């Protein structure tokens, strides 16, 4: 999650690991709360006077957050037709998304187009067709880690915005827990499938470089990693596997590195309250304007 991964599609065991993390981290709940406070005003501005609204979700996963945002958009403009193009590399997560849409009555009138592919392949496809569909709202939630080039990706998707449109990027916060962990242990963790670390700092740097107008908002979140300090805890082991992107934290890394990571997680990435170790997983919501 906190780095660039060459294999971008969550399938099989990777889906289960990701869902396990979501259940224990409260991340989606924090993001949903954040977008519900930020997007109503944005949607009113974006949709003013429009006879149709087009949304693009890039790296939408199982659609849990998308469904919330689309429902919010529809409730803001109940009489306006909405289309939603979804770009997601995981067929399994896309199936989960479709199932979620099927049981969300408020979204039955939304016209969906599904693109099961990496965002880079979507970009190539759009450029090859020459027929460029523009969007009122584009969102990239927790996916900037998986692109080849941050500057090129932001430039391309920003170019797909209609007048008055907004590109929303949600990413791990610079100087947060993920940032501290992955930068400190870059040599040990950024190996094999993981090659580059990214946080909100890289996104902001790219936006400034391109001269794009943006606003940045904090999404607060912490989650309990106390069980990571119990060597007999299966939950702790699974969390450590996900947080370090290793198949088996306790066997894959040396004792020295494991001890260093656990010490860093407790003392630099978390706060200890009532004996519980609470990891700082703060996010940034960056709204980029057309």
The confidence score (pLDDT) of residue 17 equals: 79
Share of the chain above pLDDT 90, in %: 77
Whether 24 and 223 have beta carbons less than 8 Å apart is answered as yes
Rounded Cα gap, residues 269 and 266, in angstroms = 6
User: Are 260 and 215 in contact, with CB atoms under 8 Å apart?
Assistant: no
Q: Which domains, ranges and CATH numbers included, belong to the chain?
A: 3-173+193-222+282-289 (3.40.50.150)
- Mean pLDDT of all residues in 255-264: 96
Angle between helices 64-76 and 27-47 (to 10 degrees): 30
Report pLDDT digits (tens) over 91-100: 989 999 999 9
Which of 6-15, 107-116, 176-185, 247-256 is predicted with the least confidence, judged by mean pLDDT? 6-15
**What's the whole-number average pLDDT of the chain?**
91
Residues 110-139 as b or e (16 or more Cβ within 10 Å = b)? bebebbbbbbbebbeebeeeeeeeebbbbb
Look at residue 1 and tell me whether its pLDDT is greater than 80. no
What's CA 44's distance to the chain center, in Å?
Answer: 24
């Amino acid at each position: 999650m906190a780095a660039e991964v060459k294999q971008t599609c969550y399938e099989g065991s990777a889906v289960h690991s990701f869902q396990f993390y979501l259940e224990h981290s409260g991340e989606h709940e924090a993001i949903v709360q954040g977008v519900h406070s930020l997007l109503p005003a944005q949607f009113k501005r974006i949709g003013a006077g429009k006879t149709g609204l087009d949304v693009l979700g890039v790296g939408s996963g199982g659609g849990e957050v998308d469904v919330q945002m689309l429902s919010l958009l529809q409730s803001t403009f109940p009489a306006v037709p909405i289309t939603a193009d979804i770009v997601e590399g995981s067929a399994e997560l896309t199936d989960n998304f479709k199932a979620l849409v099927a049981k969300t009555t408020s979204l039955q009138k939304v016209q969906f187009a599904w693109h099961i592919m990496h965002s880079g392949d979507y970009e190539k496809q759009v450029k090859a067709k020459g027929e460029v569909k523009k969007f009122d709202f584009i969102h990239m939630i927790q996916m900037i880690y998986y692109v080849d080039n941050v500057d090129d990706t932001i430039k391309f998707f920003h170019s797909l915005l209609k007048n008055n449109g907004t590109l929303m990027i949600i990413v791990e916060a610079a100087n947060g827990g993920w940032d501290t962990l992955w930068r400190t242990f870059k040599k040990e963790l950024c190996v094999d499938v993981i090659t580059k670390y990214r946080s909100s700092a890289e996104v902001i740097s790219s936006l400034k470089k391109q001269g794009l107008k943006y606003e940045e908002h904090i999404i607060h979140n912490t989650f309990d990693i106390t069980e990571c300090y119990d060597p007999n805890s299966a939950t702790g082991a699974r969390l450590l596997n996900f947080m370090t992107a290793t198949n088996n934290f306790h066997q894959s890394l040396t004792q020295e590195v494991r001890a260093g990571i656990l010490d860093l997680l407790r003392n630099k990435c978390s706060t200890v309250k009532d004996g519980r170790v609470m990891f700082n997983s703060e996010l940034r919501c960056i709204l980029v304007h057309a």
